Amino acid sequence: MVKPKKLKPGSKIGIVSPSYWLNKDDLEKSAKYFSNAGYKLKLGRSNHLQYGPFAGTAQERADDINEMFSNPEIDAIFCARGGYGANKVLPLIDYENIRANPKIFLGYSDITAYLTSITQKTDLVTFHGPMLSSFRNEFVQYNYDSMVNMLELSSKVTISCPEDISSRILRPGICEGQIWGGNLTLITNRLGSSDALKTDNVILFIEDVDEYLYSFERMLVHLHNAGVFKKINGLIVGELHEFKDQDIPFGKNTDEIIMDVCGHLDIPIITNFPCGHGKYQCTIPISVHVELNALKNNPHITTLENAVSDR
């Protein structure tokens, strides 16, 4: 894998909006947290564009990403927010440009599509973690510290839950493997395409927001029938934020749905890990070799290699 250069105090971060646009006030408020911490920021053109709910046309959003990777002044690229729209941008990304100019690329939600495509096509480690929109309501120290620890330290990093939430162990165990994943809807929608996530011998993490329980089960069954779970080494389910039921109760909670579909797998399974749309959002390095420890009451992930480079 190609490790991007680590983030340092004073590094210049390019901000892009590759899916939906972020409200100007929220953008400015969130950006201040990073500039006040000593980072230099460059707002890409997509942050000032509106094309319906999108931050410009697909070509304009792709151009912004391509320019940030080719700009030698930019050390890292953070996404302002997710939403929807990556699927039209992906064919317009210059992956050879990314391969020639490896940099930190950070985001989650709809950004899952970019993370998966970039890493699978270029071998560049990308990062599933908080965006500027994550800080628009409040500054969450856990999110910021997790991000800095992962992006600034060229050493092993352990990711645990914050004190006021706890993950649940559905199947105990310990395993190793490259970690891949992201938004469940995005992973499901890419099945059958050239950009489908390859999951053999990986630790898979999934998360989603604002879904019905029946829809959650439907996507898990779809992944199961497509063989996505067949050879994974471990399963991490993030906070399933704002999930809901219909008037006629579905009859199972999310943990019961997970075990109904995946409980036969002889692998560690944990849920409610801080890697989704909830308040707490850790930073996970896509494709890096990690260990998942689900033996005690505090399940955690430890990287077994550095995610960034000192060079």
- The pLDDT-based confidence of 154 (bands split at 50, 70, 90) is confident
User: Are 58 and 125 found together in one domain?
Assistant: yes
The Cα 219–Cα 185 span in angstroms is: 7
Domain range for 91: 12-139
Mean pLDDT of the chain: 96
Task: Flag whether 297 is in a domain.
Answer: yes
Tens digits of residue pLDDT in 217-256: 999 999 999 999 999 999 999 999 999 999 999 999 999 9
CA dist list (Å): 184 to 137, 139, 179, 240, 308: 24, 26, 15, 10, 26
Task: Flag whether 100 is in a domain.
Answer: yes
Supply the DSSP symbol for 49.
Answer: -
- The pLDDT-based confidence of 12 (bands split at 50, 70, 90) is very high
Task: Flag whether 146 is in a domain.
Answer: no
User: Are 194 and 243 found together in one domain?
Assistant: yes
Q: Find the mean pLDDT for residues 35-55.
A: 97
Which among 143, 132, 126, 84 has a CA at the least distance from the CA of 109? 84
User: Are 104 and 234 found together in one domain?
Assistant: no
Q: Find the mean pLDDT for residues 130-153.
A: 95
- The pLDDT-based confidence of 54 (bands split at 50, 70, 90) is very high
Q: What is the pLDDT of residue 166?
A: 86
pTM recorded for the entire structure: 0.97
**CATH for 299:** 3.50.30.60
Task: Flag whether 149 is in a domain.
Answer: no
Q: What is the pLDDT of residue 35?
A: 95
User: Are 296 and 165 found together in one domain?
Assistant: yes
Q: Find the mean pLDDT for residues 155-175.
A: 94
Q: Find the mean pLDDT for residues 197-211.
A: 97
Task: Flag whether 235 is in a domain.
Answer: yes
Q: Find the mean pLDDT for residues 296-307.
A: 94
User: Are 46 and 108 found together in one domain?
Assistant: yes
Q: What is the pLDDT of residue 200?
A: 97
Task: Flag whether 214 is in a domain.
Answer: yes
CA dist list (Å): 241 to 75, 76, 178, 207, 210: 32, 28, 25, 8, 6
Task: Flag whether 147 is in a domain.
Answer: no
H or E element at residue 285 = strand 284-285
Tens digits of residue pLDDT in 262-292: 999 999 999 999 999 999 999 999 999 999 9
| Tally of structural domains, the chain | 2
Find out whether 86 and 195 touch, Cβ atoms under 8 Å.
Answer: no
Find out whether 47 and 15 touch, Cβ atoms under 8 Å.
Answer: yes
Last residue of a domain, one of 104, 139, 174: 139
Q: What is the pLDDT of residue 42?
A: 98
Find out whether 124 and 118 touch, Cβ atoms under 8 Å.
Answer: yes
Last residue of a domain, one of 139, 169, 204: 139
User: Are 163 and 298 found together in one domain?
Assistant: yes
User: Are 167 and 284 found together in one domain?
Assistant: yes
User: Are 81 and 129 found together in one domain?
Assistant: yes
**CATH for 114:** 3.40.50.10740
In percent, the amount of the chain with pLDDT more than 90 equals: 95
User: Are 134 and 195 found together in one domain?
Assistant: no
User: Are 173 and 75 found together in one domain?
Assistant: no
Q: What is the pLDDT of residue 269?
A: 98
User: Are 200 and 70 found together in one domain?
Assistant: no
- The pLDDT-based confidence of 297 (bands split at 50, 70, 90) is confident
Task: Flag whether 152 is in a domain.
Answer: no
Tens digits of residue pLDDT in 79-115: 999 999 999 999 999 999 999 999 999 999 999 999 9
In percent, the amount of the chain with pLDDT more than 70 equals: 100
Q: What is the pLDDT of residue 10?
A: 94
User: Are 163 and 127 found together in one domain?
Assistant: no
